[in-house]
Amino acid sequence: MTARYSTWFCLTTGAMLLMALLLVIHAGVRTTADRLILRETTDLVRSLELTDLCLFTEASYTRHLSLADLRTPFQEYPLSLEHFPSGSLAAPPPYLTESHAPHP
Amino acid sequence: MPHTLEKQRHIIDFTLASLLRRKGKNGALFTVYTLIVFILASVMFFTYALKEEAALVLKGAPEIVVQRTLQGRYAPIPEEYAAKIKGIRGVMAVRSRVWGYYYDPVFMANYTIMAPESFSLGPGCIALGSGISRMRRAYEGDTISFTGADGKSRNFTISKILPQESQLLSADLILMAESEYREFSGLPPGLASDLTLKVRNPKELSTIAEKVVRLLPDSRPIIRNEILRTYDALFSWRGGLLIIIMSAAVLAFVIFAWDKASGLSAEEKKEIGILKAVGWETSDILFMKFWEGMTVSLTSFLAGTILAYLHIFFTAASLFAPVLKGWSVLYPEFRLTPFINPGQIATLFFLTVVPYTVTTIIPSWRAATIDPDSVLRS
Amino acid sequence: MIKVTHINKVYNAGRPNEFTAVRDVSLTVNLGEVTVLKGPSGSGKTTLLGILGCMVRPSSGRILLSDREITSLPERFLTQIRRETFGFIFQQFNLIKGLTALENVMAPAYPTGEKYAPLRARALESLALFNMGHKAAARVEWLSGGEAQRVAIARSLINNPAIIIADEPTAHLDTKLSHEFMAIVRQLKEKGKTILIASHDPIVYDSELMTSRIELRDGSVITPGSPA
């Protein structure tokens, strides 16, 4: 006898719920395990007196967002949509962005 | 009511058999739906985890940073400012930080060079952030050369690579002794990049900041809270920007889903009539429509959310990286800690599953109450 | 036994396109009988059939099913009665396209919440009874007219109803298939089912299987099959 559609539905949904549960457990385990690493990172931040995340290294005002200029919003203000709309249409010249880094 | 379960299973059987009649259309709907949930959930997981992590580690950031503004932009600060600020009541310690940027013309990347307070490596030795190390393939014990402000190349020995785990903050760092950095960068003695303050009572931070400005009108104090707020706002904005782009897609999907779910075709109306004629109650018809919405939206929601989690926390947001990387050459290969906000997932559930299911049921409400004899008269 | 008294059915009442489909009909159908409603199209056969099968509510008059007054029952109870007491064979067969013959046959039993395995077994049995066992997994739109009708008959029997109602069952069948249909009617009659057929096909209403014949014209009964 072939399986009913509802059996398939219940199995699929059940499997996905199980998967979701496993991921929740994964999140819990990882969060607990990472606590030590995060504490070490916080210590590094404290000893080096770091202020910012190294997310965008292309300009000083994006590398150190919180230390960016206060009074020149159109020049060096991280929340300005820089040079909009031209900035969203034209990319910087390729010789500025060409990466020599080994591709991982 | 032992029959109730079996009855619902029968109705699910029937609904799925009906949906499978239009495999292409419903398959496309499921795929688009899953994709939308995937993108929304990815944005959600990514921004939340990043924000949480930023908030956690930046608790170690200096309580107050004092910059000097000259000609409308920030500039090196005279070290004698430190002594003046030290005189403010409640300030425990002031340290002048010496740091700056270095542009690597070969790799066209920007690095941050810092001279930490306690630098224990020997002369001519530096510590390298893991991002630079990876990019330049320079490892502990290697010699690396940088060009100083005077145009002369200098060799440094890499004595240490900063821990991989702290990449999110330190990927582009170079640590150097202060004297060497001054010589390298040409920062004259008596000037520092900025000042950091330690304060006795954290409640007085803003009062002290005010006093600093009053004492030194060309200074700009930045309180730690402002740093934390910057990152909170930044990712909201980034997340928000993505959501603005997404909203167009979502809107298109809503129209598609609305058309699919609400437009009861004559064929569907006839089928409802047949089912009523052979003994289905109005409630059975509505259950059928409920399952029609539920099977599609629930499975899409679960699939999209699970895929988003795998995307963000197992593949390190590989699809977002090109967007977030922007024009930067150096990008941290960070592994986010999976901080999850159950409230956000619940919101996503209520914004996707519930409206879809409701738009499936509501239009069939009228059709479900039609007289069964309509099939006799057709 | 179904007994109706002074039944009227007016469609679109009060509007310009108002028309009376059934006019003051009183009749009784006894259990075990095979009754044919005869008359030209538009004579109200289908509407009367719908009223007798609890599918259409009359505008006025009373319906008694086994001495139980059901005229004013709420929709839910009527649906239940319809499901348990009547099996319908529609003129257009009204099978649900895209589903298999088996799924179509099982559909009327879904709201009862009967266990899947026995229900499936009964549905297959019912299909086999009409030589449709081998087509159980076929989609209904792939079936021929005669096959589709046999699926529709199998479906009407799935809830084991006491009364079978067929509206113009031979309208879409050729002569050979119409005779085959009458053979099925004989089979059902032998099983003790009460059968109500609306038809203007002589193969049906001249059949010796008919125990009563009711002729309708313009919504009224001309020759009462049995005294009211």
Query: For A53, which of B54, B72, B97 is closest by C-beta distance?
Result: B54
Q: In chain A, pLDDT over 90 holds for what percent of residues?
A: 43
State whether residue C159 sits within 8 Å of chain B by CB: yes
DSSP codes of every residue in B133-146: HHHHT--TT-EEEE
Answer yes or no: is C39 within a domain: yes
State whether residue C116 sits within 8 Å of chain A by CB: yes
Q: What is the least distance, in Å, from the CA of C116 to any CA of chain A?
A: 9
Average pLDDT over residues B307-319: 91
Q: How confident is the model at residue A71 (pLDDT cuts 50, 70, 90)?
A: low
In this prediction, residue A80 carries a pLDDT of 53
Average pLDDT over residues C82-111: 92
Q: Which two three-digit tokens encode residue B367?
A: 């059709």
In this prediction, residue B312 carries a pLDDT of 93
Answer yes or no: is C55 within a domain: no
Asked whether A97 and B327 are in contact (CB, 8 A), the reply is yes
Q: How confident is the model at residue B361 (pLDDT cuts 50, 70, 90)?
A: confident
Mean pLDDT of chain B: 87
Q: CA B153, CA B150: separation in Å to the nearest integer?
A: 9
Domains assigned to chain B: 2-58+230-377 (no CATH), 77-192 (2.40.40.20)
Q: Which two three-digit tokens encode residue B377?
A: 């008269």
Most confident of A58-62, B108-112, B245-249, B311-315: B311-315
- Inter-helix orientation angle B224-262/B23-57, to 10°: 170
Q: What is the least distance, in Å, from the CA of B308 to any CA of chain A?
A: 11
Q: How many CB pairs under 8 A join A and C?
A: 3
Q: CA B306, CA C10: separation in Å to the nearest integer?
A: 58
Q: Which of C32, B72, B51 is nearest to A55 (CA)?
A: B51
In this prediction, residue A2 carries a pLDDT of 67
| Strand stretches in chain B, DSSP E | 64-70, 73-75, 77-78, 91-104, 109-115, 125-128, 143-147, 153-161, 173-175, 191-192, 194-199, 219-223
Mutate to test the interface with A, among C99, C116, C124 (most CBs of A within 10 A): C116
In this prediction, residue B260 carries a pLDDT of 64
In this prediction, residue A82 carries a pLDDT of 53
Q: CA C102, CA C124: separation in Å to the nearest integer?
A: 7
Residues of A at the C interface, defined by Cβ within 8 angstroms: 1, 4
State whether residue A36 sits within 8 Å of chain B by CB: no
Q: CA A31, CA C52: separation in Å to the nearest integer?
A: 69
Angle subtended at Cα A33 by Cα A27 and Cα A38, rounded to the nearest 5 degrees: 100
Q: Which two three-digit tokens encode residue A103?
A: 């591709």
State whether residue B365 sits within 8 Å of chain A by CB: no
B140 forms beta bridges with none
Answer yes or no: is C15 within a domain: no
Q: Which of C158, C109, C101 is nearest to C134 (CA)?
A: C101
- Residue B229 predicted with pLDDT over 70: yes
Task: Give C116's contacts in chain A (Cβ within 8 Å).
Answer: 4
In this prediction, residue C1 carries a pLDDT of 84
- Inter-helix orientation angle B2-19/C116-129, to 10°: 60
Asked whether B268 and B370 are in contact (CB, 8 A), the reply is no
- Which H or E run contains C83? helix C75-85
The structural domain count of chain C equals 1
- Residue B321 predicted with pLDDT over 70: yes
Answer yes or no: is C57 within a domain: no
Residues of B at the C interface, defined by Cβ within 8 angstroms: 2-7, 9-11, 13-14, 17-18, 21, 267, 270-271, 274-282, 284, 371-373, 375-378
Q: What is the least distance, in Å, from the CA of A102 to any CA of chain C?
A: 56
The residue of chain B nearest to residue A16, with distances taken between CA atoms, is: B302
Asked whether C40 and C205 are in contact (CB, 8 A), the reply is no
Neighbours of chain A (3+ CB pairs under 8 A): B, C
Average pLDDT over residues C78-103: 91
- Residue B318 predicted with pLDDT over 60: yes
Mean pLDDT of chain C: 89
Buried/exposed code over A60-77 (b: 16+ C-beta within 10 A; e: otherwise): bbbbbbbbbbeeeeeebe
C29: left (phi > 0), else alpha (psi -120 to 50), else beta? beta
Write the CB contacts of C184 (distance below 8 Å, at least 6 apart in sequence): C130, C150, C153
State whether residue C113 sits within 8 Å of chain B by CB: yes
Q: How far is CA B251 from CA B29, B33, B222, B302, in A?
A: 14, 12, 41, 21
Q: How many CB pairs under 8 A join B and C?
A: 101
Task: Give A55's contacts in chain B (Cβ within 8 Å).
Answer: 168, 324, 332
Answer yes or no: is C16 within a domain: no
Q: How confident is the model at residue B246 (pLDDT cuts 50, 70, 90)?
A: low
In this prediction, residue B339 carries a pLDDT of 93
In this prediction, residue A75 carries a pLDDT of 52
Is 0.95 exceeded by the ipTM? Answer: no
> How does DSSP classify residue B312?
I
Q: What is the least distance, in Å, from the CA of A16 to any CA of chain B?
A: 6
CB interface of C with A, residues 18-77, below 8 Å:
none
Q: How confident is the model at residue C196 (pLDDT cuts 50, 70, 90)?
A: very high
Task: Give B284's contacts in chain C (Cβ within 8 Å).
Answer: 110-111
Domain hosting C180: range is: 32-50+81-223
Q: Are β-strands B91-104 and B109-115 bridged in parallel, bridged antiparallel, or unpaired? A: antiparallel
Are residues A45 and B16, on separate chains, in Cβ contact within 8 Å? Answer: no
Mutate to test the interface with A, among B59, B329, B334 (most CBs of A within 10 A): B329
Task: Give B4's contacts in chain C (Cβ within 8 Å).
Answer: 113
Asked whether B299 and B27 are in contact (CB, 8 A), the reply is no
Q: Which of B155, B131, B87, B279 is nearest to C77 (CA)?
A: B279
In this prediction, residue B331 carries a pLDDT of 77
Are residues C75 and B9, on separate chains, in Cβ contact within 8 Å? Answer: no
Q: Which of B288, B295, B259, B256 is nearest to B367 (CA)?
A: B288
Q: CA B16, CA C110: separation in Å to the nearest integer?
A: 14
CB interface of C with B, residues 182-221, below 8 Å:
none
Are residues A23 and B306, on separate chains, in Cβ contact within 8 Å? Answer: yes
Which CATH number characterizes residue C218's domain? 3.40.50.300
The Cβ-side half-sphere exposure at B315, using a 13 Å CA radius, reads: 12
Q: Integer distance in angstroms from the first to the last C-alpha of chain B?
A: 37
Amino acid (1-letter code) at residue C186: R
Q: CA C221, CA C47: separation in Å to the nearest integer?
A: 13
Q: Which two three-digit tokens encode residue C31?
A: 């259990």
- Residue A103 predicted with pLDDT over 60: no
pLDDT, greater one: B273 or B322:
B273
CB burial of residue B84 (10 Å; 0-12, 13-18, 19+): middle
- For the ranges A58-62, B55-59, B198-202, the lowest mean pLDDT is seen at A58-62
Task: Give A4's contacts in chain C (Cβ within 8 Å).
Answer: 116
pLDDT tens digits, residue range C171-193?
888 899 999 999 999 999 999 99
Amino acid (1-letter code) at residue B182: R
In this prediction, residue A74 carries a pLDDT of 52
pLDDT, greater one: A86 or B292:
B292
Task: Give B220's contacts in chain A (Cβ within 8 Å).
Answer: 70
State whether residue A38 sits within 8 Å of chain B by CB: yes
Are residues A65 and B109, on separate chains, in Cβ contact within 8 Å? Answer: no
> How does DSSP classify residue A67?
G
Neighbours of chain C (3+ CB pairs under 8 A): A, B
3-state class of C58 per DSSP? coil
The residue of chain C nearest to residue B20, with distances taken between CA atoms, is: C98
Q: What is the least distance, in Å, from the CA of B367 to any CA of chain C?
A: 15
Q: Are β-strands B153-161 and B125-128 bridged in parallel, bridged antiparallel, or unpaired? A: parallel
